[in-house]
Amino acid sequence: MARRFVTTLAAAVLFTAAASAATLYRGNQNDPDTLDPSKATGSWESNILGDLFLGLTTEDAHSDPIPGAAESWTVSDDGLVWTFKLRQGATWSDGVPVTADDFVFSFRRQMDPKTASQYASMLYDIKGAEAVNAGTAPLESLGVRAVDANTLEITLTHPAPYLPQLLMHQISYPVPKHVVEKYGDDWVKPETYVSNGPFKLVSWRPNDSVVTVKNDTFYDAANVKLDGVVFYPTDDGEAALKRFRTGEIDLNVGFPSQQIEMLKRTMADELKVSTIVNVRYIVMNTLKKPFDDPRVRKAIALAINREVITGQIIKAGEVPAYSIVPPGTAGYPDGPRLSFASMPMAERLTEAKRLLEEAGYGPSNPISFRYNYISDNDSRRVAAALQGMWGAIGLKVELVVMEKKVHYNTVRAQDFEVAEANWFADFNDAKNFLFLAQPSAGDMNMSRYASQAYEDLIRRSDQERDETARAAIMREAEALMLEDNPLTPLFYGVSRNLVHTWVKGWEENLLNTHRSRWMSVEGKP
């Protein structure tokens, strides 16, 4: 206990100096589960980790890929071998050089089944990754090698032109080999934490704040205008709005949708609402009866009035969704839609009841299930509406509410029947949405959809180098999945952020990724 107090006190002393200069106070939805890039899963963790670490590539202010820890790269003619040149003289925040061996160590650690990374399947494009992650091949067989201290080679199983985007993601961040090997899982404690990004960790007080300061060893430190960043968990949207209005926080991720009209009138300059590549959807646990029956899943999907949800409940610009891949996704025009998209609602309800009766359910034998949702105002109101919509076809629904990170941990652990889910693109490609139902995607396939035909189509699309042909195969896959309904879309989201006018450098973008590196605080009262 005494050691914890000393650490916290030292952090406070260090941060006081930063707070007197240019400090950014960010509302960040939730407290992180972890600050280990290999184990993090939430966007609220990514927001912090993206300030602390630098992948081979990184995001500019518009969320487009630019050189990161690698200053350049080349690609073989067949698109399979990528060679990255690391920045000369780059170091970790403790002054130790960042080497290609750190990246080899990190990619292997990410794929090691002992790490139990839920995001591991995102790296299955790398040669040998799937077998390594399954524990059927040695770590050394992974297609990542250090040519020399400053040259890293990555070999893929198929061409992946989106790789520079994927390498921006936390799943691809390096971790400091010399620190992890010394401290094991304890390397993430603030007193031993080492990173290679524009900021470094000072303190993490659970359910209170994560504090960072500028990393003077960062190669571009001269152009980082902030002296520090404080991340606050702000899962209570109403409380966060009050803190924002008083200037206690400079920006906040999200706000209650029912406040949109008030915000338009009173804080138009601070209100940031824009199109993003995102879908809110319902996931059904296909391992549990009766959700193993596609007729039941389709009935649940049919009964949802998406237009009521977006037009009467959530009114910040969301659009009814009839596909998992959002419109506007790069290289994916004219995606398929749910087969009943144009069917009048009364006919949908009739068809839903018919399917339930065909599956053996009805007034004398109703289906009862738990619906898990997130404890924010919007999700609560949508859940109540869904309960009524499903009740109209005879389904008896118990609502189960949880704080966001607990919700997703529960769903990924398969302790659910039907649940809310929300996906923001990690990179702007249809594959990043379609893998959510891919049988080989592990924990990311929360429905445990097991269609081999779907798996085969996704793998065929991976091997296709012609963009038009690749998109056609992915559309075929999505159409198959939409008919089976392991996931059913609700609506396409918009980014909802509040940013004070004294925060400079904020740029709205399709991925809703905003690194503190590009921001500054100027003229704050």
Q: What is the mean pLDDT of residues 215-242?
A: 95
**How far is it, in rounded angstroms, from Cα 481 to Cα 241?**
39
Q: Which two tokens stand for residue 406?
A: 């607990």
DSSP of 351-379:
HHHHHHHHTT-BTTB--EEEEEEESSHHH
User: CA 128, CA 114: separation in Å to the nearest integer?
Assistant: 17
Cβ–Cβ < 8 Å for 34, 18: no
Neighbours of 520 (CB within 10 A): 15
Domain boundaries, the chain: 1-30+199-271+497-525, 33-197, 278-492
pLDDT in tens, 153-162: 999 999 999 9
Instruction: Name the 3-class secondary structure at 200.
Output: strand
Nearest to 128 by CA among 102, 171, 158, 105: 158
What average pLDDT does the structure give for the chain? Answer: 94
- List the structure tokens of 233: 């968990």
Residue in the block written with tokens 């992915």: 474
> Are the CB atoms for 245 and 263 separated by under 8 Å?
no
Cα(201)–Cα(184) distance, rounded to whole angstroms?
A: 18
CA distance linking residue 474 with residue 372, whole number of Å = 29
Whether 146 has a pLDDT exceeding 50, the answer reads yes
Provide mean pLDDT across the span 305-334.
94
Q: Is the pLDDT of residue 16 over 80?
A: no
CATH of domain 33-197: 3.90.76.10
| Order of strands, sheet of 487-492, starting from the edge strand that comes earlier in the sequence | 319-320, 487-492, 278-284, 418-424, 368-374, 396-402
pTM metric for this prediction: 0.89
**Overall average pLDDT of the 272-292 stretch:** 96
Choose which CATH entry (3.40.190.10, 3.40.50.10490, 3.20.20.150, 3.40.50.300) describes domain 1-30+199-271+497-525. 3.40.190.10
Per-residue pLDDT, averaged over 317-329, amounts to: 95
Per-residue pLDDT tens digits for 93-112: 999 999 999 999 999 999 99
CATH class of 278-492: alpha beta
